Amino acid sequence: MEDVDAALEPSAPVWPVFGDLMSGLLGAFVLLLVAVVGVQLELATSLEAEVNKRKIEEQRRMSLEQALAVPLAAGRVTLNNGRIGISGSVLFALSSDQLQPDGRQLLESLAQPLATYLQARDELLMVSGFTDNRVVRDGSRQFADNLELSAQRALTVTRALIDAGVPSASVFAAAFGREQPVASNDDAAGRALNRRVEIAPVPRTTPHATTGPPRR
């Protein structure tokens, strides 16, 4: 009889347990939804910031290209992957490190757009000098080698840019001599292309580092 009576006793109510389970699942779902929405908002904000950053960089690039439009069209400079190449014949007479009037005028026209570009990006400007493979001699002075000539030319361009408004802490000179030719040195046309100065923005190695042109 005891077994029969136990079987007839009412069981524990199920609905309160089911309700608690559903409440827990709903709470978890709400938390998951909030997390997903938060991630989506963060991604949207990051994407918008990146788009705005790219727009600003594009505007700066376009302003620099506008400053280069006339000399680019005239073939006096080249623009390749952000590197501005200036023919040595535009800047200097053969085997000379003294700026020609047209070359100085060209550098003065580039100084302000370059200064604005560097300031906005917090970058440095590297001025690199290159020569052909022929031994250089000047009537009044003989350079030790092509490396020295390229160094003097890079320094001359660096100083001209500083005089025209580029901050001295944002520009420095580098010399490569006959290394890194862009054409064959077997003919006059190729050698003329190799005698050049390149101007290129480069990242700072450390935040707000102060780097000036090399001293001799």
Contact (Cβ atoms closer than 8 angstroms) between residue 197 and residue 153: yes
pLDDT tens-digit series, residues 109-128: 889 888 888 888 888 999 99
Distance in angstroms (rounded) separating the CA atoms of residues 17 and 160: 83
Q: H or E stretch including 116?
A: helix 101-121
**Cα 173–56–105 angle (5° rounding)?**
40
Whole-model pTM: value is 0.66
HEC string for 141-155: CCCCCHHHHHHHHHH
How high is the mean pLDDT of the chain? 81
- Inter-CA distances, 166 with 11, 56, 108, 162, 210, Å: 88, 21, 10, 5, 14
pLDDT at residue 19 is higher than 80: no
The dihedrals phi and psi of 56, each to the nearest 5 degrees, come to -65, -45
User: In the 8-state DSSP scheme, what is residue 122?
Assistant: T
Which pairs from 177-180 meet CB under 8 Å and 24+ separation? 177/129, 177/130, 177/131, 177/145, 177/146, 177/147, 177/149, 177/150, 178/130, 178/131, 178/132, 178/133, 178/146, 178/147, 179/130, 180/130
Provide mean pLDDT across the span 39-57. 78
Higher pLDDT, 37 or 184: 184
Provide mean pLDDT across the span 123-146. 82
Place of tokens 């779902």: 29
Domains of the chain, by residue range, sit at: 15-58, 75-202
pLDDT tens-digit series, residues 69-113: 877 888 788 888 888 999 888 999 888 899 999 999 999 988 988
Distance in angstroms (rounded) separating the CA atoms of residues 183 and 188: 10
CATH of region 75-202? 3.30.1330.60
* Res. 216 pLDDT band, cuts 50 70 90: very low
